[in-house]
Amino acid sequence: MKIRTFLSLLLSASAWMAVASWAQAPAYPIKPIRLVVPFTPGGSTDILARTMGQKLTEAWGQPVVIDNVPGAGGSIGADKVAKAPADGYTLLMGHIGTLAIPPSIYPQLPYHPIKSFEPIAWVARVPNVLVVHPSLPVKSVKELVAYAKAHPGQINFGSGGNGSAAHVAMESFKLRSQTFMVHVPYRGAAPAVADTVAGQTQLIFTGAPALMPMIKSGRLRALAVSSPKRIGMLPDVPTVAESGIPELAGFEADQWYGIVAPAGTPAALVQKLNAQINASLRSTEILQRLHSEGAEPTPSTPEVFGKLIANEITRWKQVVQRAQLKPD
């Protein structure tokens, strides 16, 4: 009985010391925060990171500096954050393309998407939009599938890189629709979109924020969105699942974004970051900005975001294996 009492007192003392230690620590943040975007400027991840960074800068009174570190499907930037000090001053704008897909493509990935990070906050869900260059003679998913089957290998589609979210979403579409189109990888979504606008590629299936200006100006034609339901910014554009093609029934391939920190970041700091990010996501300004980009804010707990990452790793592994995707 005395041993139990002693252990109980010891555990209580340890817990109190941890809380006291955190309470005595300097206020956070006391210096600029670096938010790493593992892709080139101009893509959906970059747009969302800059939107959040501006709001967090206003809330904290310390600049949130966006650091674009592209390469290897986002894994270079992610690894940079995984190896950073766990002090809350280096964060990653995580993404389906850095936290869910790479483990299935890169067997020697230098970081583990779950073990190397602390999930902080799920920021947004973003539908991909399937768009084509106006010169391609199709105006619906059904017409696209028919044209692709009649002209196998003659449609080139761009993406932000091998194994990127846009690439794997299109591979899923190809598998389901039983079509053959040629992948053209770029170093980021922005140059991939630019070449589709220029007609160098005929199609791209990527996040709405990177496409909305081109869709609105008529430089690209939207055929469908990847979400389970239509989005407010494109109410007349059907979902892929609405195409009437039986093999595409229930199709969904949205992107998601969230902020993670290096593993070992103190729990109290994780909660503080989560609370402020969620508060920013609920602000009228951010809601309007994200909705204008076709994004849906997803304020939630670190635990919910962590479960999303784990479930998505399992889901996309099946697509990667069926499509036989390999590293660059």
The mean predicted confidence, pLDDT, of the chain is 91
Looking at residue 327, its pLDDT comes to 82
Looking at residues 45-59, what average pLDDT do you find?
92
Tokens representing 233? 């910014």
Angle in degrees, CA 146, 315, 126, rounded to 5:
70
Q: Is the pLDDT of residue 5 over 60?
A: no
Q: Which residues pair with 64 in a beta bridge?
A: 33
Query: 143-154 pLDDT, tens per residue?
Result: 999 999 999 999
Mean pLDDT calculated for residue range 223-239: 95
- Quick one: average pLDDT of 34-45? 90
Encode pLDDT of 89-142 as tens digits.
999 999 998 999 988 988 889 999 999 999 999 999 999 999 999 999 999 999
Distance in angstroms (rounded) separating the CA atoms of residues 271 and 252:
31
Query: What is the predicted pLDDT for the residue at 126?
Result: 92
Same fold for the domain at 32-126+255-323 and the one at 128-248? yes
Q: What is the pLDDT of residues 255-277, one digit of tens each?
A: 999 999 999 999 999 999 999 99
With a cut of 90, say whether residue 74 has pLDDT above it: no
What's the confidence (pLDDT) of residue 17? 47
Mean pLDDT of 168-196: 96
Q: Which residues fall within 8 angstroms of residue 147, CB to CB, at 6 or more apart?
A: 136, 137, 138, 155
Amino acid 75: pLDDT = 86
How far apart (Å, rounded) are the C-alpha atoms in residues 16 and 142?
63
The dihedral through the CA atoms of 9, 11, 13, 19 has a sign that is: negative
For 141-206, give the DSSP string: HHHHHHHHHHSTT--EEEESSTT-HHHHHHHHHHHHHT---EEEE-SSHHHHHHHHHTTSSSEEEE
The domain ranges of the chain are: 32-126+255-323, 128-248
Give me the mean pLDDT over the 200-210 stretch: 95
Judged against a pLDDT cut of 70, whether residue 293 lies above it is answered with yes
Which band of pLDDT confidence, cut at 50, 70 and 90, is reported for residue 26? low
- The rounded distance, in Å, linking the Cα atoms of 216 and 237 is 12
Strand partners, 159: 185
End-to-end, the C-alpha distance of the chain in Å comes to 62
Out of 3.40.140.10, 1.10.10.10, 3.40.190.150, 3.90.1150.10, which CATH number does the structure's domain 32-126+255-323 have? 3.40.190.150
Of residues 254 and 45, the one with the higher pLDDT is: 254
DSSP string, 204-221: EEEEHHHHHHHHHTTSSE
Q: Is the pLDDT assigned to residue 42 strictly greater than 90?
A: no
- pLDDT tens by residue, 61-71: 999 999 999 88
**Percentage with pLDDT > 70 across the chain:** 92
> How many CA atoms within 13 Å lie on the side-chain side of 288?
4
Report the CATH fold assignment for 128-248. Answer: D-Maltodextrin-Binding Protein; domain 2 (3.40.190)
Cα angle 256, 161, 75 (rounded to 5 degrees) comes to 65
